[in-house]
Amino acid sequence: MTDFIDKLAANGVAFTLQDGRIIVEGDLRVGFTLEPEDPAIPCDYIPANLTVTNTLTILSGIHSIPAGLVARNLFISYSELESLPDNLTITGTLMANSSRLKYLPENLTVGRVLDIMCTDIAYLPDTLKVAGSMMLSNTRITTLPDNLHLEENLALEAMPLQALPKNLKVGHSLYLDAVALKRIPECISCPVINLVNPGNFENVASVTGIGGKSNRHVYALRTALGVRVCMYDLSVDPEIFGLLVRGIYDEPTAELLDKAAQQCIQRLEDMYASENAVRH
């Protein structure tokens, strides 16, 4: 502890000592870096009695984090950490994308954003609690817990997810391109559904290549919020889609998009009518 305090002082980091804890106000970077002007504290460990009021960034040379660590945000993307302690609470963001993490700890609580994109993590523990957003793209995760509720966003791209959980509720945007997923359940509740490849889903009606642009597609699907017509980050009721695109695009382009939306709605109706006929 004394060695760590000496290094804080030598690097001009403002801190206080309260009830045996080291309190660092603001941000702190700890570890080793090749950048000579990086203000990181050159140290190969984190003391168990450390509190960082904003963002703690872990760099190279640190191989474990103590259970007593307190930080609002924890950034470990550039670290050598392969695990985190159980019962860890991060009130803000846990940034671990492209990190060496192999799994998430038990009873992990994240108040705002959990970002584990581009890692080898294959499952989410049942005890995980995330309030804001989860960024899970480019992981090996195949299932998500039922009744998953997030206040903000959920990113599920380029991963082997086999099904969306029952009663999924996302407060803002769902980004989806799971190659093994074939259907989107109607019980999901999400204002914006952004599908990278809408034609891959059996219960999504889509029109692609609108106006000669290969990446411009309109699609329609049923959700807990009703039928939604979507394009990029736009996901709205069919009745107002035409009005919105006319406020964004020139008239010829808006006309093409509106026509594509109507085609999607008709295809969606035909799709469900055909499924119902087969079912009966």
Whether residues 176 and 260 share a domain: the answer is no
CATH classification of the domain holding 61: 3.80.10
Whether residues 171 and 158 share a domain: the answer is yes
Other beta carbons less than 10 A from residue 32's beta carbon: 14
Whether residues 139 and 242 share a domain: the answer is no
**What pLDDT was estimated at residue 280?**
66
Whether residues 113 and 247 share a domain: the answer is no
Quote the CA–CA distance of 241 and 167 in Å, as a whole number. 26
Measured between alpha carbons, how far apart are the two ends of the chain, in Å?
A: 72
| Mean pLDDT, each 10-residue run in order, the chain (280 residues) | 90 94 96 85 94 97 94 96 96 98 96 98 96 97 92 95 90 87 89 90 92 85 94 91 93 94 95 82
CB within 8 Å of 270: residues ≥ 6 apart: none
The residue count of the chain comes to 280
Whether residues 268 and 135 share a domain: the answer is no
Q: How many domains does the chain have?
A: 2
Whether residues 112 and 229 share a domain: the answer is yes
- Rg value, the chain, Cα: 23
Whether residues 94 and 219 share a domain: the answer is no
Do 142 and 156 contact (CB within 8 A), yes or no?
Answer: no
Whether residues 212 and 175 share a domain: the answer is no
Whether residues 142 and 198 share a domain: the answer is yes
**What pLDDT was estimated at residue 1?**
65
Whether residues 211 and 170 share a domain: the answer is no
pTM above 0.75, yes or no: yes
Whether residues 141 and 264 share a domain: the answer is no
Quote the CA–CA distance of 118 and 130 in Å, as a whole number. 19
Quote the CA–CA distance of 271 and 118 in Å, as a whole number. 35
Other beta carbons less than 10 A from residue 108's beta carbon: 21
Domain interval for residue 18: 2-203+224-237
Whether residues 211 and 150 share a domain: the answer is no
**What pLDDT was estimated at residue 172?**
95
**What pLDDT was estimated at residue 239?**
93
